[in-house]
Amino acid sequence: MLFRLRILMFLLGVVISASAQVTPGSSAAQKFSSKGQEPSPTGEHMPPAPLMPEIKPARVSTGHLFSRPAAPGQVQAPSRVDDFISSGKLRLSLEDAILLTLLNNSDVNVNRAQFDLSQFAVQRAYSAFDPLLVAGFTPTRSTSPSASTLIGASTLSTLSQTTSTGYSQTFQSGTGLSVGLSTTRFTTNSSFATVNPSFTSGLTFSVSQPLMRRFGMFANRAPILIAQRGVRQSRANFEAQLNDTVQRVINQYWDVVQARKTLDVLKKSLELAEASYQRDKRALELGALPPLDIYRSESQVAQRKVPVIQAEYSLKQFENTLRQTIGADIDARASAVDLELTDTAETSGKLEIVDLQGALASALKDRPEIESQNQLLAIDDTNARLASSNMRPDLNLSATYTSNGLGGLVFDNSGTLVSTGGFGDSLSQLGAFNFPTYGINLQLRFPLRNSAAAADLGTALVSKRRNLYQMRSIQQTIATEVKNAVHDLEQAELVMTAAQSSRELAAKNLGAEQRKYELGAQTIFFVLDAQNQLSQAEQSLVQAQIFYQKALAEVDHATGSLLAKHKLIPASATP
């Protein structure tokens, strides 16, 4: 009896310890998660590069056992666009345009949905440790002719009714546990049956533990670790996509500003030409101007109308592109009102100075593409370690303990009822553990060739080498992008300084030519030419200012600081 109690205590201890290890929110699981950080390419465990903590998969309700959510039939309408409509205009700052893009842009929401999908890989990886409850009822009626008088009936008739319930679960330590209860009610017309009907019950505890292959937490949690790193990789990819999207909307915003400023410059040039034409027309009426000289100023008016018309339609195209990006083209009210951008491209104070070496270091540290590739390398390390574990022999230890019970109506050899009993007696004997069956099984499976595990290990090693080359390629690409962005910013600063000087000199030249014309020392040709030069200088200044703003965004994008600079919180922008 003492030996049986020791076996029961051993089985219960294994169950309790395994249950404590597998609870996802338990301290043991948390400790393992903290130890399960992605190793660096050199094999050392290092903390992952910090990402924005707000970027998390959206929670998706999958219902419960008796209720399932319906699949969506359509997406939401654009949100918060109406908040920026004022006085019949859609007034937007650059930050407003970025916010509306995060809320309403279709591409952003597609990328966000792809990121949300990654969480279900983790949920699927945990399915190997889901508990399973099984219940069954199997009635069987049998009637057969007798071939011997020892059967106890000329025609043997039996009825077997078996009810079984069982619980089984595999824990993250590799331990397998199963508990089963079965009861069979058996009746027969055989005269030799001393217990009829009989109730046979059995309570079985079974525990198994791999000792070599699949031994320990890592071998069983590896799919979970891979799925979790897949979520981190998907998060880094989503952040990279947001980085690209924000840069795109910034460039589109400044494209609209440039188109509008260019239109204003061309309209101003047209007004100057019309003023010169009206002045020449009055001079012609007064006889102070030869008739043929009027055509020069009149032709300038006609010529300058062409770029104004082209600029007006170019502005509409840029506005339509921006409306599509922020989702205002879907909103009926927002698509009908004029677009007014409040930010200007003019700079005040000292221009931005970027240190190239510092920018390179920041880019290699903060770019999400680097984090994504680090996660791929960590997944390769996990796959290689798991494949190495799977190449071990398979040694399993299992132990079973069954308590048996019997109850029913007991007859003697003459057919006289000796005692009465039933299902309760069977269960009582189960609880007393007076009729046990127990055993231990140690099984070794030693494959002479494990081609699948060897192929998995080779795949992981080659994949790691490939991803290391990809990491180097990504680093080279990022370094080139940073250098080009810094050089573009330096160029933009020099060009803008030159354009400002050119515009000031062109304005002075126009004033001088206008004064000479009024004094009769010059013809109208020089005035019109000076007007054209001023218009070109103002357009060049606008282009230089816009180029500078885009170059700033390009530097922030290349160094991975664009999202942080605009203080974006993607999770709060989830519709």
Secondary structure of 468-496 as H, E, C letters = HHHHHHHHHHHHHHHHHHHHHHHHHHHHH
Q: Are residues 288 and 409 in the same domain?
A: no
- Secondary structure of the chain: what % helix, strand, coil (to 5)? 60, 20, 25
Which of 394, 15, 5, 13 lies closest to 178, judged by CA? 15
Q: Are residues 241 and 367 in the same domain?
A: yes
The answer to whether the CB of 293 falls within 8 A of the CB of 525 is: no
Question: CATH no. for residue 298?
Answer: 1.20.1600.10
The length of the chain is 575
The answer to whether the CB of 551 falls within 8 A of the CB of 485 is: yes
Cα 60 to Cα 123: distance, rounded to the nearest angstrom: 12
497 located within any domain: yes
User: Which residues 6+ apart lie within 8 Å of 153 measured at CB?
Assistant: 146, 188, 189, 190, 191
Structural domain span for residue 424:
133-142+152-171+175-213+394-446
492 located within any domain: yes
- CA dihedral 214→220→222→224, nearest 10 degrees, is 170
Q: Are residues 359 and 301 in the same domain?
A: yes
The answer to whether the CB of 397 falls within 8 A of the CB of 440 is: yes
565 located within any domain: yes
Tokens of 290: 């030869």
- What radius of gyration do the chain's Cα atoms show? 41
337 located within any domain: yes
Which of 378, 446, 62, 398 lies closest to 208, judged by CA? 398
36 located within any domain: no
Cα 559 to Cα 247: distance, rounded to the nearest angstrom: 12
Q: How far is CA 137 from the centre of its chain?
A: 46
Cα 571 to Cα 121: distance, rounded to the nearest angstrom: 20
Q: Are residues 549 and 515 in the same domain?
A: yes
Q: Are residues 265 and 183 in the same domain?
A: no
Phi, psi (rounded to 5 degrees) for 185: -95, 125
Domain count for the chain, please give it.
Answer: 2
Q: Are residues 470 and 409 in the same domain?
A: no
Tokens of 573: 């922008």
Cα 40 to Cα 229: distance, rounded to the nearest angstrom: 13
Q: What is the pLDDT of residue 288?
A: 66
Q: Are residues 371 and 426 in the same domain?
A: no
**What single-letter amino acid sits at 118?**
S
N- to C-terminal Cα distance for the chain? 66
Write b or e for each residue in 436-469: b if 16 or more Cβ atoms lie within 10 A of its Cβ, otherwise e: eebeeeeeeeeeeebeebeebbeebeebbeebee
Q: The tokens 């054209």 sit on which residue?
A: 532
203 located within any domain: yes
- CA of 543: how far to CAs of 48, 94, 554, in Å? 41, 18, 16
DSSP helix/strand/coil, 115: helix
Q: Are residues 517 and 442 in the same domain?
A: no
**What single-letter amino acid sits at 557?**
H
DSSP helix/strand/coil, 199: strand
DSSP helix/strand/coil, 451: helix
The answer to whether the CB of 390 falls within 8 A of the CB of 456 is: yes
Would you tell me how many other CB atoms lie within 10 Å of the CB of residue 123? 11
- CA of 160: how far to CAs of 192, 198, 275, in Å? 17, 10, 111
Q: The tokens 């949905």 sit on which residue?
A: 113
Cα 454 to Cα 550: distance, rounded to the nearest angstrom: 52
Q: Are residues 290 and 330 in the same domain?
A: yes
The answer to whether the CB of 217 falls within 8 A of the CB of 32 is: yes
Q: What is the pLDDT of residue 162?
A: 93
- Pick the last residue of a domain from 446, 465, 483: 446
Q: The tokens 């060009």 sit on which residue?
A: 495
Q: Are residues 320 and 357 in the same domain?
A: yes
339 located within any domain: yes
Would you tell me how many other CB atoms lie within 10 Å of the CB of residue 1? 8
Would you tell me how many other CB atoms lie within 10 Å of the CB of residue 107? 13
The answer to whether the CB of 403 falls within 8 A of the CB of 203 is: yes
Q: What is the pLDDT of residue 55?
A: 64
Q: Are residues 493 and 464 in the same domain?
A: yes
The answer to whether the CB of 334 falls within 8 A of the CB of 323 is: yes
Q: Are residues 337 and 418 in the same domain?
A: no
Q: Per-residue pLDDT for the chain (575 aa), expressed as one digit of tens each?
A: 444 444 444 444 433 344 444 333 333 333 323 333 333 333 333 333 333 335 667 777 776 767 777 777 888 888 888 889 988 899 999 999 999 999 899 999 999 888 888 888 998 999 999 999 999 999 999 998 887 777 777 888 899 999 999 999 999 999 999 999 999 999 988 877 888 888 899 999 999 999 988 888 999 999 999 999 999 999 999 999 999 999 999 999 999 999 999 999 989 888 888 888 787 788 777 776 777 677 777 888 898 899 999 999 999 999 999 999 999 988 888 888 899 999 898 887 677 788 899 999 999 998 999 999 999 999 999 999 999 988 889 999 999 999 999 888 877 776 677 777 788 888 888 888 888 999 999 999 888 888 888 999 999 999 999 999 999 999 999 999 999 999 999 999 999 889 989 989 988 988 888 888 777 777 777 888 888 888 888 888 899 999 999 999 999 999 998 988 888 754 333 33
Which of 176, 65, 66, 180 lies closest to 133, judged by CA? 180
Q: The tokens 């308590």 sit on which residue?
A: 403
510 located within any domain: yes
